[in-house]
Amino acid sequence: MMLNRLPRRDWTNCLVTIVIVLAACIVREIFLNSLGRSLPYVTFYPAVTLAAIYGGFYAGITAMLLSIMITGFWIIGFNQLATLSTTEWLVQAAFPLLCTIISYAIESLYRARSHDQEKTKQLLEINEELIRQKQNYQSLVENLPFIITRFDEELKFLYANPAFEKMSNRKTAEVLGKRWNEIGAQSAMYEPLISHCKTALATKKTVECEIAHTAPDETKYYHNVIIPESEKGGIDHTVLVITHDLTLQKQMQKELLRLDRLNIIGEMAASIGHELRNPLTTVRGYLQFFTKKEKFADYNEQFNTMIEELDRANSIITEFLSLAKNKAVNMECCNLNDNIHAIIPLLQADAAHSKHTIKLELSDIPNLTMDKKEIRQVLLNLVRNAIEATPSGGTITVKTERINQQVVLYVQDTGPGIPQDIIYKLGTPFVTTKDFGTGLGLSVCYRIADRHNAKLEVETSSNGTTFLLKFN
């Protein structure tokens, strides 16, 4: 093991050098005094070497000079110098030469070693910096809300970030080195992406595309940026795919569109609803008047049919009027459960008529500010739709629940679900799949939800439909 070198130009360095040389003298005096003027430097070579090891070149030279002086004054004596033989002179002359070589060699060794240490330290620092940067980028890539994947030329997975794991329900380790068709994904889901990746690889140009994945329960929309990569001068070509899930954005756009349509209809309702209702009331009044007249007795049946039809038209107009945007509302603080209890006999009578059962699952919920009549209207419309969708004998569940400060009303049925083609049109006035439907029930519900700052959502599958009214 190398001795640790003392710092240069330090007084302790000089002191240690002197102590080493004196120690060499003492050793010589005690153990080797019989040597006399023969082999004068026997203990000084190790002393100079030790001093050079401790203090480097200058300490070695200092020790050498000290040793020469001690030898001159004390071991040989300056008056004896003239009597020295040629061999003894050679021994004298070899000492400074060898000491210089020893000191220089040790110094060079030190320098080489400290250069190596400096290099190693620098490399370690660079390595640490690289590791830190790698961690920074890794954390960035892994926490981005984008799905990031990289493929080789054969479109086998080279990398997938945690967002991919979440989207695909597959562990990254399971997909690496495999193609899309080997990881059990549906071909409709990846084929368009693969074809765009091939284009990007062939043209060496970035491709942007939007791909829709249609699943039985929901359609997902993804925006992809496909970047072809090639190592400088290398033959390895890869493709980086950055995918952004646009589903929520699309849903919001549709929601806005629906609200927009509702607003237009709402404005129409406010302006023409009354204009229509007034002449209808007059016509109905006259018809009723005619039914009481003897001379029209033969036409009573026709008059009654006309009155019934007018009533139906009137009820449609009443519903249509409740779409008016700035309809006056009567907000008060009450409990949703109490409101449900107030209307449930009516709903049960309606359900019993078609041999359906209504099940209540009401849980403890805080009071809310609402227009009681409007919320009852929502409940009536949703339960009626549920009854109409569920085969006779089925059960409709009306449930309330508190989820994180939010009160949620559920109307659940076991019907066949909402047809895919009208899901995104739900709430648009006059959208109906029923022969005698008005297509206004859900529009009214969305409008009322809007007025209550609540959200009406739907979950539907072939096993049934649930409408959720979420109060904020």
Question: Where along the sequence are the contacts to ligand ADP (CB under 6 A)?
Answer: 381, 385-386, 389, 413, 415, 418, 422, 426, 431-434, 437-443, 465
Report the alpha-carbon distance of residue 332 to residue 322 in Å, rounded. Answer: 18
Picking from 245, 225, 234, the residue whose alpha carbon sits closest to that of residue 153 is 234
Report the alpha-carbon distance of residue 368 to residue 346 in Å, rounded. Answer: 23
When asked if residue 385 is in the footprint of Mg ion (CB under 5 A), the reply is yes
**Minimum distance from CB of 216 to Mg ion (Å)?**
24
**Minimum distance from CB of 276 to ligand ADP (Å)?**
19
H helices present in 169-246, as ranges? 172-175, 187-203
Q: Where are the beta strands (DSSP E) in 327-434?
A: 332-334, 357-362, 368-370, 395-403, 406-412
Contact 52, 60 (CB under 8 A): yes
- Residue 389's binding partner out of ligand ADP, Mg ion, none, with CB under 5 to 8 Å set by partner kind: ligand ADP
Contact 321, 268 (CB under 8 A): no
**Minimum distance from CB of 464 to Mg ion (Å)?**
16
**Minimum distance from CB of 301 to ligand ADP (Å)?**
27
H helices present in 204-321, as ranges? 247-291, 300-321
Size of the site for Mg ion (CB under 5 A): 2
**Minimum distance from CB of 437 to ligand ADP (Å)?**
3
Give Cα 111 to chain centroid, integer Å.
52
Which lies closer to ligand ADP via its Cβ, residue 40 or residue 417? Answer: 417
Which lies closer to ligand ADP via its Cβ, residue 224 or residue 381? Answer: 381
Which lies closer to Mg ion via its Cβ, residue 228 or residue 429? Answer: 429
Tokens of 339: 């409101």
Which lies closer to ligand ADP via its Cβ, residue 63 or residue 351? Answer: 351
Which lies closer to Mg ion via its Cβ, residue 16 or residue 386? Answer: 386
**Minimum distance from CB of 346 to ligand ADP (Å)?**
17
Contact 106, 60 (CB under 8 A): yes
- Residue 413's binding partner out of ligand ADP, Mg ion, none, with CB under 5 to 8 Å set by partner kind: ligand ADP
Report the alpha-carbon distance of residue 59 to residue 63 in Å, rounded. Answer: 6
Alpha carbon distance, N-terminus to C-terminus of the chain: 75
**Minimum distance from CB of 438 to Mg ion (Å)?**
7
**Minimum distance from CB of 381 to Mg ion (Å)?**
6
Report the alpha-carbon distance of residue 411 to residue 257 in Å, rounded. Answer: 25
Picking from 305, 304, 313, the residue whose alpha carbon sits closest to that of residue 280 is 313
Site for Mg ion in 388-447 (CB under 5 A): 441
Which lies closer to Mg ion via its Cβ, residue 207 or residue 262? Answer: 262
Which lies closer to ligand ADP via its Cβ, residue 245 or residue 255? Answer: 255
Picking from 449, 451, 443, the residue whose alpha carbon sits closest to that of residue 470 is 449
Which lies closer to ligand ADP via its Cβ, residue 24 or residue 442? Answer: 442
- Residue 432's binding partner out of Mg ion, ligand ADP, none, with CB under 5 to 8 Å set by partner kind: ligand ADP
DSSP reduced 3-state for 122 = helix
Which residues lie near Mg ion (CB under 5 A)? Answer: 385, 441
